[in-house]
Amino acid sequence: MTRDARGLGGAWTKYQRHAFHAPSPDLARYVERYWVVSWDYREPYRQLVVPYPNVHLTFQNGSATVNGVSSGHRIKVLEGRSGVFGVAFRPGCFRPFLGASVSTITDRSIDAREIFGPEVPDAPDVAAVERFLRARLPQPDPKADEAAEIVAKIVAEPEISRVDVLAGELGTSVRQLQRLFAEYVGIGPKWVIRRYRLREATERMAKGAELNWASLAVELGYADQAHFARDFKDMFGEPPTWYAERC
C-alpha cells in the first residue's frame, strides 16, 4: 500500500500550522486549552485524528460545532486553504454546560447553538470566545472537578494501567468510577487509561527513540506485544510501526 508522503517523517509541518493558548484563570476550571489549526493543501489530504477524552467546541467557516469524545480514530479530509479554532474542555468539565450526561454526545457532533443558544462568535479568537463562555458560565459542579482530577491522576501516574487499581487508590468501586466517567467524561475509565498509556508510546516515537516493542508493551502494562499492537491499531487505525513512520 502506497502511503501519502505528506504524512511521513514530520512532512505535515510544511502544510499545517498549529498554535495553542492557555485559558484565562477564571475559565481554567472548565477549559484546558484553545487551539488553532490552519492548512494549505492543493490536493486533498487524509488527516488522521486520534482522540483524547476532551469535548471540543470548534469554529470553522461561520459555523460552531460541539464535538463529543470520539471512541476511536477518525479521518478528516483537508483540502485547500482553511483552518479551525477550537476550545478543548477539561475532561469532565463540559457536563455543567451540557446539562446532561456527556455520554449522550459521545461519537457525535452537534450544532453548538443547541447547547449555547443562537449567538456564537462570527470571527472567533481567544478574546471573543472567552467573552462568549463567560456569558454562559454554569454553576460549579464538584463532580465535574472530581472527574477532571481523576483524569489528571491517570495522566500523571503511568503505573496506573488497570481500572481496579485506580478505583482502589481512590477508595471507590469500579462500578462507581464507570458511572462517574459515563456521566461526566463521556467514555469509560479503561479507555482513558489506555489512551494515555499509548500516548507514552507515541511520545517516544516522536523523540526518535529506538523502541523494543515487546519491552515497551510490558512497561505500559500489557501482557504481551500482541495485546499492545491490537490496542494501538484499534485506537490509531494503524500498527505502531506504521505510526512511527509519521514522526
CATH code of the domain in which 214 resides: 1.10.10.60
The average confidence (pLDDT) of the chain is: 95
pLDDT at 1 over 80: no
State whether 10 and 132 are in the same domain.
yes
Kindly state the average pLDDT of the residues 142-146.
98
Q: Are residues 136 and 149 in the same domain?
A: no
Positive or negative: CA dihedral 37, 39, 44, 46: negative
pTM of this structure: 0.94
Looking at the fold, whether 152 and 131 belong to one and the same domain comes out as: no
The answer on 152 and 107 residing in a single domain is: no
With b meaning 16 or more CB within 10 Å and e meaning fewer, what string describes 16-36?
beeeeeebeeebebbbbebbb
Nearest by Cα to 88 from 12, 150, 135, 21: 21
Are residue 128 and residue 11 in the same domain, yes or no?
yes
Total domain count for the chain? 2
Query: What pLDDT sits at residue 58?
Result: 96
Residue where a domain terminates, one of 84, 116, 141: 141
Same domain, 26 and 77: yes
DSSP state letter for 12: G
Q: Looking at residue 125, what is its pLDDT? A: 93
Q: Summarize pLDDT for 29-65 with one digit per residue, the tens.
A: 999 999 999 999 999 999 999 999 999 999 999 899 9
Q: Are residues 43 and 135 in the same domain?
A: yes
Residue type, 74: R
* One domain for residues 134 and 190: no
Same domain as 93, residue 38 = yes
The size of the chain, in residues, is 247
State the Cα–Cα distance between residues 85 and 87, nearest whole angstrom.
7
Please check whether residues 88 and 135 belong to one and the same domain: yes
Question: Cα(201)–Cα(142) distance, rounded to whole angstroms?
Answer: 33
Q: Whose grid coordinates read 468539565?
A: 93
pLDDT at 124: 85
Considering 141, 166, 190, which residue would you say is the last residue of a domain?
141
Could you tell me if 196 and 122 lie in one domain?
no
Domain that holds residue 180: 143-244
The answer to whether residues 26 and 41 belong to one domain is yes
Map grid coordinates 465535574 to a residue.
Answer: 144
pLDDT at residue 83 in the model: 96
Neighbours of 88 (CB within 10 A): 20
Give the end of a domain, one of 141, 171, 197: 141
Closest CA to 237 of 64, 10, 44, 1: 1
Nearest to 217 by CA among 165, 167, 178, 161: 161
